[in-house]
């Protein structure tokens, strides 16, 4: 599931700053956005850890299987056989079928195919993958047990897919609004769960003979925790701001045009 979360985070960031469903962004000044917080935190892999030769072979085999399955899924999606494409991609899922993790793994694979299809200029295939992806997001949402962080990430990704791949900006704006509301809940829950500075310092001191060093580590950890909380829903808030700004500009332009038409020519 960790690889699926990382793929979703990376591809979501690409969608947030890339082309829309109908082509490149209308505005060149839209800044790249940060990747959403991964949908589930898992321990990082230490790249310095020695890897046995057989592990290298296993990793290479996994990469080859991933690439081959994604390529076949994309080919089937291009051919219009959505069901076969989705079934093929689900062979990559590791989690028990029908669980929240399983649906999010399906989302990750379909998002890869949609992203690759879009980059290749094949928007029909990208939209087919996007439609399938949105179904899995809805099913994952139903299994989220009112977890505000999961719901915020799901709504944010739904909005990005609707805006960037499907082209339904109005629906995307609604998804972003829901994401922002859930993000507010998630941040409040995270902050409430954070220990205060004194507690964290005491906790770190237990593992450090150097009090000053322990205090520094505690402050750094608290800062990281606060930053992670603040990052929830940031992309949704930015995209919503840009959509609403563009809508206001269009409304103003339309009003100005109507006024101009109403002015009699001397």
The band of 255, judged by pLDDT with boundaries at 50, 70 and 90, is low
Number of domains present in the structure of the chain? 1
Whether pLDDT at 8 is above 60: yes
Establish if 46 belongs to a structural domain.
no
Whether pLDDT at 127 is above 50: yes
Report the pLDDT value the prediction gives residue 53, as an integer from 0 to 100: 62
Query: pLDDT by residue (tens digit) across 117-126?
Result: 999 999 999 9
Report the pLDDT value the prediction gives residue 44, as an integer from 0 to 100: 47
Range of the domain at 204: 2-41+63-248
What average pLDDT does the chain have? 80
Provide, rounded to the nearest whole percent, the portion of the chain with pLDDT above 70.
68
Establish if 257 belongs to a structural domain.
no
Establish if 264 belongs to a structural domain.
no
Whether pLDDT at 2 is above 50: yes
Nearest to 228 by CA among 41, 1, 6: 41
Query: pLDDT by residue (tens digit) across 61-106?
Result: 999 999 999 999 999 999 999 999 999 999 999 999 999 999 999 9
The band of 108, judged by pLDDT with boundaries at 50, 70 and 90, is very high
Whether pLDDT at 6 is above 50: yes
The band of 58, judged by pLDDT with boundaries at 50, 70 and 90, is confident
Report the pLDDT value the prediction gives residue 221, as an integer from 0 to 100: 74
Establish if 151 belongs to a structural domain.
yes
Report the pLDDT value the prediction gives residue 54, as an integer from 0 to 100: 78
Establish if 258 belongs to a structural domain.
no
- The whole-number average pLDDT for the span 199-217 is 62
Establish if 134 belongs to a structural domain.
yes
Whether pLDDT at 136 is above 90: yes
Establish if 259 belongs to a structural domain.
no
Report the pLDDT value the prediction gives residue 105, as an integer from 0 to 100: 96
């Amino acid at each position: 599931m960790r690889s699926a979360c990382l793929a979703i985070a990376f591809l979501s960031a690409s969608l947030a700053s890339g082309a829309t469903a109908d082509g490149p962004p209308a505005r060149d000044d839209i800044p790249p956005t940060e990747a959403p917080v991964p949908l589930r935190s898992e321990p990082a892999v230490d790249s310095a850890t020695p890897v046995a030769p057989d592990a290298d072979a296993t990793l290479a085999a996994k990469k080859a299987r991933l690439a081959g399955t994604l390529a076949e899924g994309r080919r089937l999606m291009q051919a219009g056989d959505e069901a076969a494409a989705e079934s093929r991609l689900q062979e990559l899922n590791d989690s028990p079928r029908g669980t929240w993790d399983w649906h999010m793994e399906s989302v990750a694979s379909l998002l890869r195919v949609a992203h690759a299809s879009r980059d290749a200029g094949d928007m029909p295939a990208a939209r087919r993958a996007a439609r399938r992806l949105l179904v899995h997001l809805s099913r994952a949402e139903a299994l989220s047990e009112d977890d505000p962080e999961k719901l915020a990430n799901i709504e944010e990704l739904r909005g990005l897919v609707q805006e960037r791949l499907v082209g339904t900006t109005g629906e995307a704006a609604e998804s972003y609004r829901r994401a922002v509301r859930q993000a507010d809940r998630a941040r409040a829950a995270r902050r409430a769960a954070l220990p205060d500075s004194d507690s964290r310092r005491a906790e770190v001191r237990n593992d450090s003979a150097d009090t000053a060093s322990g205090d520094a580590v505690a402050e750094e950890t608290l800062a990281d925790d606060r930053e992670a909380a603040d990052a929830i829903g940031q992309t949704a808030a930015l995209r919503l701001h840009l959509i609403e700004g563009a809508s206001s500009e269009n409304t103003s332009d339309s009003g100005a045009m109507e006024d101009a038409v109403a002015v009699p020519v001397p």
